């Protein structure tokens, strides 16, 4: 287990898988009438609550300082509350698999921001992996969702806001990571802050009655809470081990999982170009993972 906890590649696969599983679960919830705000609240409250219990079981406590509170609030807004609200708003229009593809575009934006800020100097192999992954994601985006019901370009454009938010969140969490603070503590604080923001929005906009449809999908809700809690525990560890650009590649894995789950379990159908693009994305992941390992070995040797 310790080897996995220290492995960027292993953490990438697990985190991406758990993220991808959440997309078809969200589509099922939406079909049952669950509001996007409510489902986003379920994720943040579930993840934050479960991880808080883990923290307390270890006899650790949340330490609130001005820096940590600022981190919790900003990370909550740009990394969880807004992206999740966006994702679960577009899934009914674009499909779970197609929405997953939007995650694959975040490495390009993250890389651009990292280069501008002088945080990252990727090697040629890593750049080629990201380029291939992006080309595959672009091919998928052009197909505009399920083969039988292409999405309105407006919804595709809205979906494209997701990688921008994810990239900004990746960079922010890295540059403002509070000293002497572990990943579980950051996950708890950020998600509980996100849950508080979303609850306030629910009360003000759809009202508390928006929680009623959750009774129609109790096991889906439970599965989402478990997946979210596990995913974010690994997510923050991956941030510390792999850095922001490597972290952003969980979208590649999540997209593949969401495409397969949407096709097999939800009856979604995609054109051959979509599957070709997904394959290119996976090739990009493999190349970039190899580049990360090579860079780590050189740094250790040097």
DSSP alpha helix (H) spans, 58-105: 66-75, 82-94, 96-103
pLDDT, position 280 = 83
Give Cα 126 distance to the centre of its chain: 21
The pLDDT of residue 36 is above 80? yes
**Phi and psi for 7 in degrees, rounded to 5?**
-100, 115
**Could you tell me what percent of the chain has a pLDDT over 70?**
87
pLDDT, position 254 = 83
Min mean pLDDT across 22-36, 51-65, 225-239, 288-302 is at 288-302
The pLDDT of residue 302 is above 60? no
pLDDT, position 199 = 97
Between CA 190 and CA 253 the distance in angstroms is 23
Residue range 90-140, pLDDT digits in tens: 888 888 877 887 777 777 677 667 767 776 666 787 778 778 877 887 787
Between CA 231 and CA 254 the distance in angstroms is 11
Q: Please, what is the Cα angle at 7 between 6 and 11, to 5 degrees? A: 105
pLDDT, position 221 = 94
Residue range 214-267, pLDDT digits in tens: 999 999 999 999 898 888 778 778 877 877 667 767 877 887 788 788 888 777
For CA atoms 28, 33, 37, 39, the dihedral sign is negative
The pLDDT of residue 151 is above 70? no
The pLDDT of residue 161 is above 80? yes
Report which of residues 281 and 47 the model is more confident about. Answer: 47
């Amino acid at each position: 287990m310790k080897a996995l906890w220290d492995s960027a590649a292993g953490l990438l696969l697990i985190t991406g898988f758990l993220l991808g599983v959440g997309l078809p679960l969200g589509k099922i919830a939406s079909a049952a009438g669950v509001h996007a705000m409510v489902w986003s609240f379920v994720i943040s409250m579930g993840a934050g609550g479960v991880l808080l219990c883990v923290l307390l079981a270890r006899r650790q406590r949340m330490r609130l300082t001005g820096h940590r509170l600022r981190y919790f609030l900003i990370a909550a807004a740009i990394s969880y509350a807004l992206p999740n609200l966006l994702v679960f708003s577009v899934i009914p229009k674009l499909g779970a698999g197609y929405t997953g593809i939007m995650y694959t575009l975040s490495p390009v934006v993250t890389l651009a921001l990292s280069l501008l800020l002088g945080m990252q100097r990727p090697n040629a192999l890593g750049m080629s992996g990201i380029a291939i992954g992006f080309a595959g994601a672009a091919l998928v985006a052009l197909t505009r969702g399920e083969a039988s019901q292409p999405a309105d370009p407006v919804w595709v454009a809205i979906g494209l806001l997701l990688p921008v938010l994810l990239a900004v969140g990746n960079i922010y969490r890295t540059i403002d990571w509070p000293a002497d603070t572990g990943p579980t503590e950051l996950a708890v604080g950020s998600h509980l802050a996100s849950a508080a923001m979303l609850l306030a929005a629910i009360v003000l906009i759809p009202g508390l009655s928006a929680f009623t449809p959750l009774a129609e999908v109790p096991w889906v809700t439970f599965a989402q809470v478990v997946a979210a809690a596990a995913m974010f525990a690994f997510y923050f560890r991956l941030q510390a081990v792999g850095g922001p650009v490597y972290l952003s590649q969980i979208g590649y894995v999540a997209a593949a999982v969401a495409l397969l789950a949407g096709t097999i379990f939800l009856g979604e159908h995609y054109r051959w170009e979509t599957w070709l693009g997904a394959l290119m994305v996976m090739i990009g992941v493999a190349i970039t993972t190899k580049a990360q390992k090579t860079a780590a070995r050189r740094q250790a040797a040097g």
